[in-house]
Chains A and B, each alone.
Chain A
Amino acid sequence: MNIEKVIFGFFIILALTLNFGFVMGEIEDPEHHNVMEFFSVILVNLIAMGLKLGDRSQIGALLLATSLVAVLQLISAAIVWTVAVHVTETGLAPGVMASIVSLAAGAMLANVVSVIMLVSDTLMSGR
């Protein structure tokens, strides 16, 4: 067993599962989308991105790219949330919530790709 693989795999899969949990529910209903959960999604995604930095292999480059996409989408969602609540003070209207959740759903897709690559790379190397 390789401790590096455990830590690496843990964060990458956690990024996906948390993301999935946040996206679950009625897309326009603020009750279904918890702000603490959203915060942890962003945090875990950032950690996963940090772990991917520095890998010079081809697959490492692709993994980093998926993380960058996910983080970009999540940060955009966070900006939308902040602006709606604190700047324009419209609150979490159904339209605003929908756009936040759809951005997070996009990030989830990137996380799915990331997990698929991680699993296939591990299976292929077979060690």
Chain B
Amino acid sequence: MATTSELDRVTAIVLRFMRRPILVLIVVYAIAISGLVLIPGQDAEGNPTHMSFFHAFYFLTYTATTTGFGEIPHPFTDAQRLWAIVLLYGSVVAWIYAISSIIRLVRNPHFQQAVAQRSFARSARGITEPFFIICGFGDTGSLLTRGLDDAGCTAVIIDKDEDRIKALSLRDYRKTMPGLCADASAPKHLIDAGVKHPNCRAIVALTDDEEVNIKITVMARLLNPSVRVICLSTVHRRGEYLDTIGAVETMDPFGAFAKWLGTALYAPLLHTLKHWLIGAQGFSLDKPLSPPKGVWILCGYGRMGQRLRESLHTHEVRTIIIDPDMEGAEDLPAKQKVLGYANADTLRKAGIGKAVGVVAATDSDSDNLGVLLAARSLNPNIYMVVRQNHHENELAFNAANADLIMQPSLITARNILFDLLSPLIHTFLDHMREDRETQLQEVIDRIIETLGTSVPHLWTATICQKDASAVTILKKRGYTITLVDILRDPLDRERNLACIPLVLNRRHGAIVMPDGTQAIKARDQILFCSTKYARRQVDATLNNEYTLQYVVNGVQKPRGYVMQWLARRLSSERALTLGG
């Protein structure tokens, strides 16, 4: 077979391993049975008899397994008893040998791996709904899986680290998330995970090894050219290389992080809206972030620090860098950098008294917390942004009471989640990023007015036969259905549901914040922000032609054939009377 199948492999291993024990058993049984049949016995009257093959096999079956029901069909002669002693010992030893072989096989780690792969491949093949493949179950991977689970999606997970897969099996996901401990870049594991499965929506390469991510990307592209591939890559050169493969989306965690901080400082309103939309803790539309404008101190100038400085400079924020190496900072003017580890001394040298904010962005959590404490003792009013590298340190960071905690793994996971579940949100955010403060404020006011204090829920509706059957039926009858119509409350069409269309996407381009008068067409995609209740209602409207008809023109159409006929009769009679 061309494709590797773990089912065959497990069977093959068992057969190969059990070959000798089974042969031994067969030979022992053959000798014992022939002996029993050949040795003459006596019946109750003393006539000579021979044991039949059936009786011999029956006798051997219960003696070999040390059960022992006695001598059948007649009491044995001494010659038979002598042979019985020999066969009993021989067969018991053969059985012990066979059983111990099985136990050895079961305890063999390679065999266990093969069995795990087999059950993984089985459960991945059995998924009947759209699913995603996640390679790498680190901080980002587990946050992403949690997000997918919250959205009711299934994921298949591959990680090299056995402990991570064990951790996966202990998570309380609502969906079953099959996990395999294996090298994700091996094509056979990707096939087992279902990369060729028609329901596979995307494959996300999130391992901490860049080379492995690239390999996964290339393999996935070769195995299934139509599947979406998202690859985590921090090195710019690799990004260009991946672009040449085509249709690969690269996710640069440092770049995403720098953009995140840039938005937080430069467009705090948008930043607040974005985080409120995705339900992040501690963001409220009433109280948007308000970071001060002025000089910022940036501690740590590694790969991430460089991106951060770039991002801050495009937003015209002045920075002073503190770093022990200053690699890549040779060209910067001397007064914009301070050489050394970030501590009270260097912070003072960088002019913490005059700075408005500190960004602690080294790759060590304890250093970042240290900077935070030192900066606060020197300048109690300073605005503090701190980078949290490891998810497990969350409690310490919450206790540190920084103004803004940025967690690269969380930012990456959220960005990927957006890409996978509601890609239209990027259209919305990009549109809003282009200097549209007043429009943004209007949008926020409208959201507050419509949704109030309820938790926002982002979702995408696609107008197609499967997800909006009623729309297709009514359009065939010649009705024009607008966005305003489908957002009417099916209980009372004069009221509106707590649901705001953010983006209307169609083939010729996307409309951000559509005003609702546009007619809905087939294949439209609409990104909504609503309450969970409103989502259920809109979904029901899109799929129930009677409800849809009511919200479109207020007519409650009779449902059954009889009533429809009656209604037609009545209306034509009325028309006649009116005409006469």
Binding site for B on A (CB under 8 A): 2, 4, 7-8, 50-58, 60, 125-127
Which A residues are CB-close (under 8 A) to B546?
A: 57
Is there an interface contact between B492 and A54, defined as CB atoms closer than 8 Å? no
Q: Which residues of B contact A60 (CB under 8 A)?
A: 559-560
A60 CA / B559 CA spacing, docked (Å): 8
- Other A-B contacts than A50-B562, A55-B560, A127-B492, 15 sampled, CB-CB below 8 A, are A4-B558, A4-B563, A8-B560, A8-B563, A50-B560, A53-B562, A54-B559, A54-B561, A57-B546, A57-B559, A58-B544, A60-B559, A125-B490, A127-B491, A127-B556
Beta-carbon contact of B491 and A125 below 8 Å: yes
- Chain B residues engaging chain A, CB cutoff 8 angstroms: 490-492, 544-546, 550, 556, 558-564, 567
| Contact flag A57-B544 (CB < 8 Å), given A125-B490, A127-B492 | yes
Residues of chain A lying within 8 A (CB to CB) of residue B490: 125
Contacts of B561 in A (CB 8 A): 53-54
B279 to chain A, nearest CB (A): 28
Of chain B, the residue at the smallest CB distance from A52 is: B560
Contacts of A50 in B (CB 8 A): 560, 562
Whole-angstrom CA separation of A104 from B491 in the bound complex? 37
Cβ of A52: which chain B residues have Cβ within 8 Å of it?
A: 560
Bound Cα distance from A56 to B472, whole angstroms: 14
Q: Is the CB of B563 within 8 A of A7?
A: yes
7 closest residue pairs by CB, A with B: A54-B561, A55-B559, A54-B560, A126-B491, A4-B558, A51-B560, A4-B563
Contacts of A125 in B (CB 8 A): 490-491
Name the CB-closest residue of B to A124.
B491
Q: Closest residue of chain B to A60, judged by CB?
A: B559
Measured in the bound complex, the distance between the Cα atoms of B563 and A4 in whole Å is: 7
Q: For B545, what are the chain A residues with a Cβ–Cβ distance below 8 Å?
A: 56-57
Across-interface contacts of B564 in A (CB, < 8 A) = 54
Q: How far is the CB of B466 from chain A (nearest CB, A)?
A: 15
Q: Give the residues in chain B near A2, CB-CB below 8 Å.
A: 556
For the complex, what is the distance from the CA of A2 to the CA of B567, rounded to whole Å? 12
How far does the alpha carbon of A58 sit from the alpha carbon of B492 in the complex, in Å? 21
CB of A118, distance to nearest CB on chain B (Å): 12
Taking CB atoms, residues of chain B closer than 8 Å to A8 are 560, 563
For this complex, 25 residue pairs linking A to B, each with C-beta atoms less than 8 Å apart, are A4-B556, A4-B563, A4-B567, A7-B563, A8-B563, A51-B562, A51-B563, A52-B560, A53-B560, A53-B561, A53-B562, A54-B559, A54-B560, A54-B561, A54-B562, A56-B545, A56-B559, A57-B544, A57-B546, A58-B544, A125-B490, A125-B491, A126-B491, A126-B492, A127-B491
Q: Kindly provide the distance from the CB of B262 to the nearest chain A CB, expressed in whole angstroms.
A: 48
CA distance A56 to B546 in the complex (A): 9
CA distance A27 to B141 in the complex (A): 66
Which B residues are in CB contact (< 8 Å) with A58?
544
Considering the complex, give the chain A residue whose CB is closest to the CB of B565.
A54
Q: Which residues of A contact B563 (CB under 8 A)?
A: 4, 7-8, 51
Smallest CB-CB separation from B469: which chain A residue?
A56
**CB-based nearest B residue for A58:** B544
